[in-house]
Amino acid sequence: MKHYELPVAEPLAGAAPASAPEAARGREHIVFDNLQKRYQGPQGPVAALSDVSFAIARGEIFGIIGRSGAGKSTLLRTINMLERPDSGRVLIDGADVGQLDEDGLVALRRRIGMIFQHFNLLSAKTVAENVALPLRVAGVKPAAARVRVDALLDLVGLRDKADAYPAKLSGGQKQRVGIARALVHEPQILLCDEATSALDPETTQSILALLRDINRKLGLTVVLITHDMAVIREICHQVLVLDGGRKVEQGEVWRVFGDPGAEATRALLRPLQHDLPADLAARLSPEPQGPGASGVLRLRYTGAGRAQGVPLAALAALGPGATLLHGGLDRLGGHAQGSLLVSVPAGILRQEAARAALAADQIEVLGYVAADA
């Protein structure tokens, strides 16, 4: 095999170099322009992507979420042209990647790292050999490749596992190997295809922390697909919601979580929300039942109105009979958002001043509970 020294990777034609200055961060990096993709199913053509248009900024962590069959994987794979859209364009730094010839696609795919749900490691090769494999295929000299591999194993915290085989690794360690391998060509973009779906919650948190650290240190644009809103909440700056191959919602994570506009988004968020507990729901009635009844309010905070949180004085304004029943607030992107359930004496529901003092973004009366309930 012919060997060469590990070079500084060349960008796509018209693209900014990998070491783009800080000023380039935030500019459009990947643009999807009216993508359409259909597959032939048993009952006829199936639309995997329909009229999908949006942009991802350089250096951000961008999440794409949707239920099974929503089109997430198809959309992700158009970035490196593993899936070619039937129509529309994918632009990276202004270059239409669908117009690249074979050599151009090879160069493109070396500039885009990818990690997978099931790791895709070769069981007969050591950790170092798995990470070095793309460099070996590219003809990089072994000495230069070893320097690069050692640096990446340091980055992902696996330098002491260089000579271990995948069978001796935990799931989280295998994924760290996959991440190191995806970074060998110094990519500008890192694609994550359900990268934490096969991991337990604790390991998932450690992998997400690593991806966040890599994004910060290397300035990579990270695009991940998931079916888990908890992953989006933990790591992403922006989120796109797909449903049936269509974009139904997009925005900053705190905005989408705080005030979802699409039913698909609300359904995906439901497992994370503080819904009405079953025991309380069973006691609710639509009208007050007897003297001393209390009304149950849901107070929603989108993060837009009270970005820094909810003053305790606002809740205290409900009076001494008010009780905090359930709920909580999350802090996303510097904005406090969530919901609280409170019970208050039924009479206070007619006091507009008390409602205003709450300063909630949305107030909903869920029902009433009797005094002896």
CA-CA-CA-CA dihedral for 123, 129, 131, 134, to nearest 10: -100
Q: Provide the angle, in degrees to the nearest 10, between the axes of the packed helices 142-155 and 127-137.
A: 130
- Domain final residue pick, 271, 304, 338: 271
How many structural domains are present in the chain?
2
Residues spanned by the domain of 247: 22-271
The CATH number of whichever domain residue 295 belongs to comes to 3.30.70.260
Phi then psi for residue 90, to 5 deg, are -120, 120
Based on the number of CB atoms within 10 Å of its own CB, is 286 exposed (0-12), middle (13-18) or buried (19 or more)? exposed
Torsion-angle region of residue 230: left (phi > 0), alpha (psi -120 to 50) or beta? alpha
Q: Please indicate, yes or no, if residue 316 is contained in any of the structural domains.
A: yes
For residues 174 and 228, the answer to whether their CB atoms sit within 8 Å is: no
- Domain final residue pick, 209, 243, 271: 271
Question: What Å distances lie between residue 47 and 58, 63, 94, CA to CA?
Answer: 29, 21, 27
294-301: strand order across its sheet: 323-332, 335-345, 294-301, 362-369
Q: Which of 76, 62, 60, 58 is nearest to 19 (CA)?
A: 58
d(CA 216, CA 114): 18
pLDDT of residue 4: 38
Residues 257 and 296 occupy one common structural domain: no
Residues 339 and 255 occupy one common structural domain: no
Residues 216 and 349 occupy one common structural domain: no
Residues 267 and 288 occupy one common structural domain: no
The CATH number of whichever domain residue 75 belongs to comes to 3.40.50.300
Q: What is the pLDDT along the chain (373 residues), one digit of tens a residue?
A: 444 343 334 443 333 333 444 445 668 999 999 999 998 888 888 899 999 999 999 999 999 999 988 999 999 999 999 999 999 999 999 999 999 999 999 899 989 999 988 888 999 999 999 999 999 988 899 999 999 999 999 999 999 999 999 999 999 999 999 999 999 999 999 999 998 988 899 999 999 999 999 999 999 999 999 999 999 999 999 999 999 999 999 999 999 999 999 999 999 998 888 778 888 888 899 888 878 888 888 888 888 876 778 888 777 777 778 888 998 888 888 888 888 898 888 776 665 545 555 668 888 889 889 876 5
Structure tokens at 197: 């779906």
pLDDT of residue 316: 77
For residues 361 and 300, the answer to whether their CB atoms sit within 8 Å is: yes
Residues 196 and 333 occupy one common structural domain: no
Residues 102 and 247 occupy one common structural domain: yes
d(CA 1, CA 331): 54
- The percent of the chain in helix, strand and coil, each rounded to the nearest 5, is 35, 30, 35
Q: How many residues does the chain have?
A: 373
Structure tokens at 189: 């973009």
Residue 251's SS3 state is strand
With residue 30 as reference, give the H or E element that holds it: strand 28-41
Q: Please indicate, yes or no, if residue 14 is contained in any of the structural domains.
A: no
Q: Please indicate, yes or no, if residue 10 is contained in any of the structural domains.
A: no
pLDDT of residue 51: 96
- Domain final residue pick, 212, 238, 271: 271
Residues 355 and 340 occupy one common structural domain: yes
